[in-house]
Structure 1
Amino acid sequence: MLEHLIYLPKHILGVHATGKITNEQYERELEPLLDEHIKENGKINYLLILEADIKNFDAGAWCGNIGIGLKYFTKWHKLAVVTDRDGDREFSHLFKYILPGKYKGYRLEELDEAIKWITA
């Protein structure tokens, strides 16, 4: 499930991922949010709170994840991934080698720090 975090400042797009994640959710829920965010801000500042185990991403979601990264390739400015799963956080560090912009990973207990960084 993908939940849009509406309490963040307007220039930050936040999503909380829990349970099973599918490619259909990316297409139906995340892509319209990204399109609107880019229209309003010109670049992407993205906060992902990842409480879904990466194993719960179906194959289509993995392709959707890569596809979204490439579709908006020149728009990424800052990306913060917040999760307590060390393996997921380490895997997410690959974003800094693939996508332009700045990337940081945080533990759930560091959510406030992640929000401060992404909003600065």
Structure 2
Amino acid sequence: MSNQNTIVPAIKKLAAQTNEINFILYLDIYSGNFTTKAWCKDALLNLKSLGRWNRSAIITDSSNITSFTKAFSYLVPGEFKGFTIENYEEAVLWVSSTS
């Protein structure tokens, strides 16, 4: 069973309850379990289907993913912002901010 089978239903349930989603995605691409192609496929399939995205922080040390996140933010509802792993706390504050 993939994480997708667990995470996507939970996100849909939360969206129904709160009418918006704030989300942090921590990508440790150096763990050996990451491919850009897989991430893009999952992101496009799942994120485009949800219209209640508010703020999403993508935390990674990959400048390619940070650049992709910036471009991606123009294609989907809500705000998407890339953060380095070093700036994890800043990402949490940004995602949880109401302003």
Q: TM-score range by the shorter chain?
A: 0.7 to 0.9
Relative to structure 1, the CA distance from residue 63 to residue 84 in structure 2 (aligned partners, 3 Å threshold; closer, same or farther) is closer
TM-score under structure 1 length normalisation: 0.67
- After TM superposition, give the deviation of residue 58 of structure 1 in Å: 7.9
Q: Any stretches of 5+ residues in structure 2 without a counterpart?
A: none
Q: Which runs of 5 or more structure 1 residues have no equivalent in the other structure?
A: 1-21
Identity %: 21
Per chain length, whose mean CA-contact separation is higher, i.e. which structure has more relative contact order (CA < 8 Å, sep 6+)?
A: 2
Aligned partner (choices 70, 83, 88) of residue 48 of structure 2: 70
Equivalent in the alignment of 1:118: 95
Q: If the length of structure 2 is used for normalisation, what is the TM-score? A: 0.79
Within the candidate set 1, 8, 18, 1:41 is matched to 18
The 5-angstrom pairing of residues 88-107 of structure 1 reads: 88-107=65-84
Instruction: State the number of aligned residues.
Output: 95
The one-letter code of the counterpart of 1:65 is A
Which structure shows the higher strand fraction? 1
